Amino acid sequence: MNRAHKEDNAKMQLRWSHSLAAIFHSFCVLVGMSGAVFAQAPSEARSAAQPPATKILFIGNGVTFLHGMPALLTEIAATASEPRTLVTKTVGFDAATLQSQWEKGDALAAIREGGWDMVVLQEHSHGAADRPEPMFRFARLFDAEIKKIGARTMIFQPWAWNDRYHTIVQIEANTRKISAELGAQLVPVGAAWKIAMKDFPRLPLLDNRAVPTPASVYLTATVFHAVITGRKPEPQRELMPGLYAIDAASLRSVAWEVAQAVK
């Protein structure tokens, strides 16, 4: 083979080498890009599966906000096997009624801020039992404002205090009535209390000062969670101080029972 022919072969081999290197580089780039796409896919799938935050405005009194019930509700929702992000705000003061909330104006201003998915109305238990007409009137007024912002009204059915246990019948009837009239979602906390007090009498829901116990706050939060999500409440890794796992399990079963009854 002459020298010129050898040089031609060497040049051809060099061109092939460069071409193969370019092809290999392009292949690596494509694989890298594909890898990036596939690496992002699970994250995107999780993001798509996670529903957007649900924004809830609570309007009530100590029955609503004592011991941080709304905060406990958000924690229960966030730690469930199918987590749900809840964002809550509470407008309330001790012994508030729907009438006093309306007249004070803070609750109405909070509704008109907009951005809420649900607005919870909680009447004083005495009013819900003995003087339902003011509850009906101001629930209607609030509901009209809630509908203007595209949110859903929820009626928080309060419980009957120990010395007025007989009034639970009136409370249940009156809260069911106004919920049906408004097309609102009833949250049957009072019904849950009635069952818990009957089936688990050793588990106090009020202390000797008539203040809700950790058990009662947990029961209330799990009823709300069951109604809002439509899912059976699950065990939590950490419970409120003073609440035992076996009691929490009993309360969750009650919450699920009453939530199913108002579907």
| Between 128 and 237, the higher pLDDT residue | 128
**pLDDT tier, 162 (very low <50, low <70, confident <90, very high otherwise):** low
Average pLDDT over residues 82-102: 97
For residues 71-91, average pLDDT: 97
The residues, any chain, with a CB within 8 Å of residue 135's CB and separated by 6 or more, are 97, 98, 123, 127, 128, 174, 178
Res 163: pLDDT: 61
In angstroms, the Cα distances linking 249 to 186, 213, 230, 234, 236 are 23, 16, 18, 8, 10
Q: What is the DSSP string of 121-173?
A: EE--HHHHHH-HHHHHHHHHHHHHHHHHTT-EEEEE-PPPPGGGGGGHHHHHH
The percentage of residues in the chain with a pLDDT greater than 70, rounded to a whole number, is: 80
